[in-house]
Amino acid sequence: MKIVFFGYGQLGATVLRGIAPHHEVLLVLTHRADFSGLGEPDVEEAAAELGLPVRYSAGAREPELHDHLRRLAPELIVSTNWRTQVPMDVLRIPEHGAINTHDALLPAYAGFGAVNWAIRNGEEETGLTVHYMAETLDTGPVLARARVKIGPQDTADYVLRRLLDEYVPVTLEALERVAAGDLGEPQQTVGASFYHRIGAADTRIDWSDSATTICNLVRGQSDPFVNAWTTHRGLRLWVKAAVRPTRAYGGTPGRVVKAEDGGVVVACGRPADGFDRGVILLQVATETGPPVRAVDYFGTVGDYLH
């Protein structure tokens, strides 16, 4: 098929490299590398390797871009990790519209940070959904899905790497279905959800939460994402890794209790949480220093985290 590709970052570059040998890519549209401070030139680098023409846009809203797309007359737009909503005027240009590969099992977890939110919510499964693009973000008919299990200790980085292996196969499957005239399966409203972008304010630890909730937050915000954090003596402290202890630790939420099992125990939760209380911090980092073992960072116990 004759395709115009919209994408950004590692995910976009992975799909572009995967579909280019099988389809005619007329144009690659990507954001500038420093878009929103992300600094990811992966798609433009992949396009250069493949000898494909590249244009840059923040939101695909330029009238001259629309004219250029009409002259190209693509059969389909393929989008992966494009960071803004594509105008309907653009989606209507190709004969078969546009498809997007989203990192969740729609209709759940539409929007942003789907892998992070799924882990934070304690989900045991996530995946990819290739769907037709519609006026409302991530709501169009579904063409193909891939499923990936989430283990109880899996981090966002680990799950993302497993998903990365599925992007090309599921997108190629969807392209075959589009070529065969498949209009997709409409999404249901039951179980539908939408999540906003995640910033530092959304990853602060609340020590009154249960141990499970806090550990899910830490692994859901593993590197390279914005880490979970707290404050210690008035300064921000990033929590890189944490696990639950073998017994509950009650008391004042946020109090540094003792060294144990290679880390430092912090009391958390409320009495109603029962045995789901207490977290062992394994690795932390200040805003200016490298990651260190929590037992090396905390010289004494008895301090409070907020």
Residues 114 and 169 in one domain: yes
216-245, pLDDT tens digit by residue? 999 999 999 999 999 999 999 999 999 999
- Within 10 angstroms of residue 70's Cβ, the number of other Cβ atoms is 13
48-73, pLDDT tens digit by residue? 999 999 999 999 999 999 999 999 99
Asked if residue 305 belongs to a domain, the reply is: no
Residues 148 and 282 in one domain: no
Range of the domain at 42: 2-194
The whole-chain average pLDDT of the chain stands at 95
Q: Which band of pLDDT confidence, cut at 50, 70 and 90, is reported for residue 176? A: very high
Asked if residue 303 belongs to a domain, the reply is: no
Percent share of the chain, pLDDT over 90? 93
Residues 287 and 153 in one domain: no
Strand partners of residue 2: 24
Can you give the pLDDT at residue 168?
97
How many domains does the chain fold into? Answer: 2
Domain boundary residue, one of 194, 210, 233: 194
Cα separation of 293 and 301, whole Å? 15
Cα separation of 243 and 280, whole Å? 5
Is the per-residue pLDDT at 2 higher than 90?
A: yes
182-195, pLDDT tens digit by residue? 999 999 999 999 99
Evaluate if pTM is beyond 0.85.
yes
Residues 159 and 218 in one domain: no
Identity of the residue numbered 211:
A
**Orientation of helix 9-19 relative to helix 156-179, angle to 10°:** 40
Can you give the pLDDT at residue 130?
98
Cis ω on the peptide bond leading into residue 21 (within 30° of 0)? no
Average confidence (pLDDT) over 34-40: 79
Phi-psi sector, 163: left (phi>0), alpha (psi -120 to 50), beta: alpha
DSSP notation for 106-168: TTTTEES-HHHHHHHTT-SEEEEEEEE--SSTT-SPEEEEEEEE--TT--HHHHHHHHHHHHH
Q: Which band of pLDDT confidence, cut at 50, 70 and 90, is reported for residue 38? A: confident
Can you give the pLDDT at residue 301?
87
83-102, pLDDT tens digit by residue? 889 999 999 999 999 999 99
Is the per-residue pLDDT at 122 higher than 90?
A: yes
Can you give the pLDDT at residue 14?
96
270-289, pLDDT tens digit by residue? 999 999 999 999 999 999 99
Residues 100 and 211 in one domain: no
Residues 243 and 137 in one domain: no
Residues 154 and 257 in one domain: no
Is the per-residue pLDDT at 37 higher than 80?
A: no
Asked if residue 51 belongs to a domain, the reply is: yes
Cα separation of 104 and 118, whole Å? 8
